[in-house]
Each structure stands twice: as structure tokens, then as C-alpha cells.
Chains A and B, each alone.
Chain A
């Protein structure tokens, strides 16, 4: 699985991309739980109630969206273009 981070979250995490095996619960919610378990800034920024977006294979995703080994998953703040 290829993970991408953008905007303020990329800066906070100090990371723009990484490769991970799919989480044991292979959904967006399962991945977020695994990332939160890293603690620190990960737990803080991805906490329940914090506002961020997740896209799977470049489509906006919901928590129940399934993930595969080849999925591209992006996590980013609400968009501010235009």
C-alpha cells in the first residue's frame, strides 16, 4: 500500500509518502487506527473529531472503504485551492 500525505499534515508528520502492508482490518478505519497507534503527532492529528480527508486510489473515501496491497491512500486536510 502506498500512503501519501499533503499540506499541513505532510508538514506535521514530516513525511510525504511511505509504503505499508495493508492493516489487519483492511479498511480506511483500520488504517487510521494503525496510524494513531504510532502515538504522538499521529494520534493527535488523526484523532476522532479532527477534520481531515482520505482518498483511496484518488477518490474521496469513507471509513468502511476496503484497502488492498496495491491501494494508493492519501490523507490530507480540507482543500484550500482556487
Chain B
């Protein structure tokens, strides 16, 4: 039986088919959403060739688990799985997986969206991009702060 909330922070890749297979045989699940974030070749007008992801070991796992627990309660989910990679990443590599399982699609779609919005503003990860102009640390985006406002009914 799969855990209700499970998180992983790892340098290695994740396998979305294997992640989905973890839910096999659970007859209470009516909807599963898997969101995958990937390394894009453009950001803020610059060509990106590579990404380096740094994190705060210990706090990262706690924050991801807390986000999962909050979503589990708010949307009455059956399970939440969050996997986030760290270290050097190449173009088109997978960065993050959010998988939610619910009784119905509304809860699954909404909670996956909300979990990503919370992750972007709360989880202690920092991205450094390699560009033709040299390496640069990404700045937090105003948009990420406003995106999270829509989930203000989710308890901290």
C-alpha cells in the first residue's frame, strides 16, 4: 500500500511510469494527475544551456511534506507524491514531479496546481542557470507570489 504523503529529493531522475505503478490496485482512486516540470532552453530572454539546483537539506523535505499534508486535508486526497531533483540538470531534463490521487478530477487538478504554487514560494531550492553571458542565479518571480494567493483557504 502506498503512503498518503511521500516526498523525495534526489540527484537522479524519476520514472513517471514507476511512480504511477505505485497506485496500482487501489480501487478508491478515481483520478490521478501527474505534473512534471522540465528544464527549458529559454528564460527571461536568455538562452539557457544548463541548470544547477541547490537546496537546504532537511528543511526541503520538511517543507515538501508539509505542503503535501496541507493539500491532502484541503482536497481530501488519497495520496500525494512529490519528487524534486537537485544538482546539475541538462535541457529537457525532468526537475519536479507532483502526483496526486483523488476520488474525482476536480480535486486532482486543483490540488496538483496548488502544490506547485506552494512549492515555488516555500520550498528552499535555488536555481542557477548557465547562459552565454555566464552563470546567473534566478530571481524569485512576482508572479509566483500572486499565483499562490488563490489558495488562501489552505491552512498553513
Show the binding face of A for B, using Cβ within 8 Å.
Answer: 4, 6-8, 10-11, 51, 55, 58, 74, 76-82
Contact of A58 among B59, B96, B137 (CB under 8 A): B59
CB distance from B14 to the nearest CB of A (A): 15
Q: How far is the CA of A57 from the CA of B126 in the complex (A)?
A: 19
**With a CB–CB cut-off of 8 A, which chain A residues contact B138?**
80
CB distance from A57 to the nearest CB of B (A): 9
**Contacts A6-B56, A77-B137 known; A58 to B62 CB distance under 8 Å?**
yes
**Contacts A7-B137, A8-B137, A58-B62 known; A81 to B123 CB distance under 8 Å?**
yes
Number of interface residues of B (CB under 8 A): 26
What residue of chain A has the Cβ atom nearest to residue B55's Cβ? A81
**Contacts A77-B140, A81-B84, A81-B120 known; A55 to B126 CB distance under 8 Å?**
no
CB distance from B130 to the nearest CB of A (A): 14
CB distance from B5 to the nearest CB of A (A): 18
